[in-house]
Structure formats: C-alpha cells, structure tokens
Structure 1
Amino acid sequence: MIEAFLEMMSAERGAALNTLQSYRRDLEDADRFLRARGAGGLHAAQTADLSAYLHGLEAQGFAASSQARRLSALRQFFRFLFAENVRSDDPTGVISSPKKQRGLPRHLSMEAVSRLLETARREALEGKKSPAQARRTARTHAIVEFLYATGLRISELTRLPATILHREEPFFMVKGKGGKERLVPLSDSARHAGQAYRMLLEGDERARQCPFLFPDDSFSGPVARQVLARDLKATGARCGIAAESLSPHVLRHAFATHLLENGADLRVVQQLLGHADISTTQIYTHVMDERLHALVSAHHPLAASGNRQ
C-alpha cells in the first residue's frame, strides 16, 4: 500500500522526487515500528499504535517539526487508504499535531550582503585565472546576484533556463512548488552577471546544447545545489561572513527581509517568494516591528503623551 500511495502522489499530485523519497522513509519507518510492536503493519494500525510511534519519536529527541512532518505523511497515507476503500476509518483523525516553535529566519544585514556582492564581483573580474577558475568565480558572482535579486529557492535557481537572459523584460516566470508559476524580478546587475558568466561558456558546443542557465561541469544537467552552496560559503568566508551564517536560503531570507525593511507590502513579498499562504510569509514581520512602532509614534493622533486623556 505504501507503493500504491507513492504512485498516486506522483501521478495525480505531481509530487517531486525528493518529496516521494521523504514520504517513503517516513512511512517505512512507521511500518517497521508497528510490525515490531505486533500491530500487523502500517496499513492495519490503530490510533493507539500511531500515538505510540509518535511518542517514541519524541522520546528519541526528534524535533517537533520532524514529528509533525511524519504525522502529515501518515495523515495523507490513511486518507489515501480511506479513498481507496481499503479502510473505513482514519486513525490519525484524533491525533493532535505536535506544537512547533517557529524560529526566526537567519538573514544577513544589507551591509553584509553588499560585502558579499562586492567580493564576488571583484573575484569574477580578477585576471590571471585558469579557464575553470574564471568560470567558477563568474558563476558564483551570478549566483549571488540572482539569489539576492530574485529571492528564488536554490532548487528553482538551478533549473532556470539560459533563455531568460535573452529577454529584455525586468521580470521572468518561474515554476515553484506544486508547479505554480509566479513572476520574479531580475535586476540589471544580475542579468549582466549572468551574461558575463555565459560568455565564458560560448566556446563549448556542449554549453549551447545544455538548456540550463547554470549547467554542471559536464553540461549534462543543472549544477548541483551542494556545489553552489560550497562556493557561496567560500566567498562569504573571504569577506568575513561565517560559513554557518551563509547559505542560498539565507540570501532568500535577506531578499524578503530587506524588502520589508524598506517598505514593501507583505502581500507583495508573499507573491515574490511563492508562498501559498500569507501565514508562511508572516514569519518575516519581526523585521517590521521597529519601523511600524516609529510609524505609529510619528503619525497616530494619540501617540504623543500630551494628547492622551
């Protein structure tokens, strides 16, 4: 039944490979636990069995977010069994989700991002490099410019087609989670950095055949996310940014945070990030507190102490 569920998620809901692999790991782990408990396997589990499994995760020190993710996989699995008339009930229906403590996203200050951009730009322009080094530094410069200018997820960035550089519009379409498309801004500096990188690839016929803006070294597919993250951290280290403070996702957070700090509307940021629900974007509102406090203090008629009754 796990295999049937995964086939349904792939065929009917278009779940990504990483999502399917995550579901498989979580469901097979629950199945092993329940068989060891004598419950007869996951498909036959009762509410008490699943509660025991989740309590076991908590006892092992799993974070609330990890417990919630596994419960979500179980819920979807049993809804599938119910829809297929394999079961007449949903044993997860009365199980409460673990309370997750949502931490604030890490992000860089505007000054730190400026240092990172300047370092990446300078290293890309430096001479006396091998062709491979020239391509790598140009790619890193383009990656930093693109991440900060667009707020893209790294998975979205690596799948970008090279053809977006041929367009003159300041926006382009990107397909995000769930296959949903959205408009993403492209700054002139990001476009120029991307064009400079692509110019270094023009002499290789394989580059012209590869559709991706950022291909891997063999031009057989997109560059690996881990490669980009490694080069980004190395560049950050050379301008005083600790490795643990920098990642492609941190630049996505910086994109959103700096927009809000400079007066952007939360709904606009939601659309640019590709969040389906505004509640996901609201995690960034902590950066608006000081600005909103100053706004109210300056403009609300009761803000001045002399006006209070």
Structure 2
Amino acid sequence: MGTETTPEDSEETEDPVGYFLQDLVFHGKTERTRQSYERVLRRFESFLATPEANPFGQSILPADATHRHCMAWVHTLRGDVESSTVATYAAYLHRFYAYMTQVGVFESNPMTLVMEEMDETIDKDPTRREIDVPTMRRFVADLGHPLHRAVVVTLLKTGMRVGELCNLDLRDVALTHTDAERAYELGNRAELDGRPDSIFVSPDPSFGKSTNGEERTASNKRKRATVVPIDAELKHVLVRWLAVRPDAVSPADPLFVGTSDRWGERLDPESVRHIVEMHARDWGWYRTGGGASENVTPHYFRHFFTTHLRDRTGDRGIVKYLRGDVADDIIDTYTHNWGDKVRETYEANIYSLLPAST
C-alpha cells in the first residue's frame, strides 16, 4: 500500500482499525478481504482492551501496544486455529501496523520483531481434504437450486478461479442448444468461432475497470486467454440455469446473476463463496476457523479439477492450459491444436458428476 494518505485531524484516528479498513476501500480491496481484516484486528483490539488477557494487566489502545502485547496475542491463537492461520492473522496485524506507521498515525510497528521470531508460516501449498469422484458426485446431487448447481459444476468441470467464473458474460459461452440459443445471444466472440460448446476465459477483466460495458468487482488472474470445452453434463446444467435465469441488470449480460437479494445483478466472489460454504457445511466440509487443509471452498474445486484430470490424462500440459497458468510456448501448442488435442483429451477423461438419468 502507498504512503500518500495522511490523517488530517485527530478525530480520524480515534478508531485506527476503522481508519485502516476505510483505506482498504480506497486501495480497491474486496469486501471479503476487508471483512477478514476487520475480524482479526477487532479480535486483537478486544484482547488489548481486556486487562486480564494482555501481559500488563491493563486496558490499552493499539497505538500503545508493544511487541510483548503482540506476542501474547499470537500465543492465544495457538491451539485455537491451525498454525498456518496463526501466521495469516499475524501477517494481517503486521500489515496494519506497517501501514499505520507509514502514514504517520503510529510511531512504530511492534509486529516487526514478532514476525522475525515466529515459527508458524503461511502454507502456500497445503495438504487438502481428499474427496473422490463418487463422493463429489453425491455432493452435486444434493444441489437442487439451478444456480448453485450450475456454479459448482462449472467450477468443478473447468478449474477456473472464482473471479473468472463471476466475470463470465453470455458472449463468453457457446452452447449448441435450440432453446438457449433462441432465448439468448450466446458465444458471439470471435475466439469461439468454430468451437461450439465452449467457454472463453479472458485475462482482461480487472477489479474496478470496465469490461464489456460494466465495471468489474473481481479480477481474472489468467496469464493467457483460454477456451475450455463444455461437456454434456456442464451443458445440461447451464441450459437448466439459463431457463430460469433472471434478466440481467448489467448490459454486459453476465452468465451468473443473483436470484435473491441482488436479483439480476452479477454474482460476485463473496456470493459464490457463500453458496459453496453453505453446502460444504451441510457435508461437514467447512468449519469456521478451519484452514485450506480442512475447508472446501471454490478454490478447492480448482484443486479437485487439477488433481483428478491430471491423474486421468497423464498430460500436465493440457491441465495447465485449461487452468490458464502455463507459459506462452506451451499454451500456443494447445491453442493451435485445440480441436484435436484439447477437446478430445478433455472429453475422453473428464469425470462424471451427474446421475446417469440426469
């Protein structure tokens, strides 16, 4: 974060946590990110305000906390959450103090020493819950809502990121289905010419910037544009969803829109995470405070896709191409041989997620 922000008067810093959270808005952080920071920072603030909890036995403000207060708070987390979560919470507090020091609200960052001495680290590649295909199939069978099933099956069948899913417009989806094609103008991108039943995932959409006439609330992290095949099962759930999809508020015509409070508005990552969390909890696959090794989230479906499709094809290149995270020289190989190599390999190996009678 930059250092251009300067507090203009003392009232602005009576609530330093609130001040920091407001600046996260200005820096374009998502609502989910801000909520995560707020939970952690308010928890730390409460710890400092409780005399019997902090090491000096008196209520103090975040501006007056020392490295000993910070170390004591980190210690209270151990045993309550996973070690990687301890590291994440500590990193949040470190960033808070670093920023408030940079803008001149605080005099120093007491977390600097704490971070140097901590044993916990943020696990970049956690061992995740193992779910086999038959179990995932039963999970999908429980998804009765057309939107929920379409969102989950799209994530599971394509391996795309949650932001990429939210940024899909009808123009990005080519479906050879009479009813869907009559109702909507689908797949009218040049990149989908000659590639029926496919999804185009662009690297262009970015948070706060306009794409296809709409300011986006999520960014695509894809390095290169990718065309992902739509198999018979994904086609079935997308057609079923389009049959009941509310009219979109946005002229960009998002593929996935809200069906409750935000009727017709583009689905955002927070809404997708809520959908997945709600159903994962029902299966005992999500626990508040649980880490990546325990909780099933939209990103878990990307892991599921990668693991199972790679094992079935034995072709890491195709999986990397479909994920959109491969180097240019390799991705060009699959781009130029898309029909023969990508679609045929994908359709021959993609796992089944729907009952045979569906």
Asked if Structure 1 and Structure 2 have the same fold, meaning a TM-score greater than 0.5 normalized by the shorter chain, the answer is: yes
Query: How far off its partner does 1:27 sit?
Result: 1.1
- Is it true that 1:99 corresponds to 2:120 in the alignment? yes
Match of 1:24 among 13, 28, 38: 38
Separation (CA, whole Å) in 2 of partners of 1:157 and 1:180 = 9
| Counterparts of 2:220 and 2:163, CA distance in 1 | 14
Aligned equivalent of 1:64, options 63, 83, 87:
83
Whether the 8 Å contact between 2:159 and 2:305 is mirrored in structure 1 is yes
- 2: CA distance, partners of 1:267 / 1:99: 35
User: What displacement does 1:257 show?
Assistant: 0.6
Tell me the CA shift for residue 255 of structure 1: 0.7
Range 184-193 or range 223-232, more displaced:
223-232
* Aligned match of 2:323: 272
- How far apart are 1:73 and its partner, in Å? 1.1
C-alpha distance in structure 1 between counterparts of 2:280 and 2:80, whole Å: 32
Pair 265,195 (structure 1): closer, same or farther in 2 beyond 3 Å: closer
For 1:16 and 1:83, the matched residues in 2 are separated by 22
How many angstroms apart in 2 are the aligned matches of 1:179 and 1:227?
Answer: 20
State the Cα distance separating 1:78 from its structure 2 match. Answer: 1.2
Specify the alignment match of 2:256 in structure 1. 214
Provide the alpha-carbon RMSD of the alignment.
4.1
Structure 1 Cα separation of the partners of residues 35 and 301 of structure 2: 27
Aligned partner of 1:89 in structure 2 is 108
How many Å apart are 1:92 and its aligned residue?
Answer: 1.0
Q: Which residue of 2 aligns with 1:78?
A: 97
> CA 1:232–1:176 in structure 2 vs 1: closer, same or farther (change >3 Å)?
farther
**Structure 2 SS opposite 1:19:** helix
The question of 1:172 aligning with 2:201 is answered yes
* Bigger proportion of residues as helix: 1
What is the CA–CA distance in structure 2 between the aligned matches of 1:94 and 1:43, rounded to whole Å? 16
Corresponding residue for residue 178 of structure 2: none
TM-fit CA distance, 1:159: 5.0
Question: TM-score of the superposition, structure 2-length normalised?
Answer: 0.55
Superposition deviation, residue 62 in structure 1: 2.8
Q: Are the structure 2 counterparts of residues 93 and 139 from structure 1 closer, same or farther at C-alpha, using a change threshold of 3 Å?
A: closer
1:50 counterpart residue number: 70
Q: Within the alignment, does 1:4 sit opposite 2:55 as a pair?
A: no
The 3 A distance-change label for structure 1 pair 199 and 65 is closer
Residues 147 and 107 of structure 1: CA distance in aligned 2, closer, same or farther (over 3 Å): farther
Matched residue, 1:292: none
**What amino acid maps onto 2:219 in structure 1?**
G
Q: Which amino acid aligns with 1:61?
A: D
What is the identity, as a one-letter code, of the residue corresponding to 1:57? L
Cα displacement (A) at 1:81: 1.9
Q: Which amino acid aligns with 2:201?
A: F
Corresponding residue number in structure 2 for 1:143: 151
Structure 1 counterpart of 2:67, which letter? T
Unpaired stretches in structure 2, ≥5 consecutive residues: 1-15, 52-57, 174-185, 208-217, 287-295, 327-358
Contact preservation (8 Å) 2:164, 2:220: no
When residues 188 and 216 of structure 1 are mapped into structure 2, their CA distance, relative to the original with a 3 A threshold, is same
Alignment of 1:276-287 (within 5 A): none
Q: How far apart are residue 76 of structure 1 and its match?
A: 0.5
Q: Is the 8 A contact 1:160 1:214 kept in 2?
A: yes
**Residue pair 1:65, 1:98 contacting (<8 A) in 2 also:** no
- CA 1:209–1:61: 2 relative to 1, 3 Å: closer
The answer as to whether partners of 1:145 and 1:193 remain within 8 angstroms in 2 is no
What amino acid does structure 1 have at the position aligned with 2:81?
A: F
Aligned to 1:251: 301
**Residue number in structure 2 paired with 1:196:** 239
CA contact (8 A) 2:152 2:276 kept: no
Aligned length: 248
Match for 2:47 among 26, 33, 39? Answer: 33
Q: Report how far residue 26 of structure 1 moved.
A: 1.1
Tell me the residue number matched to 2:228: 186
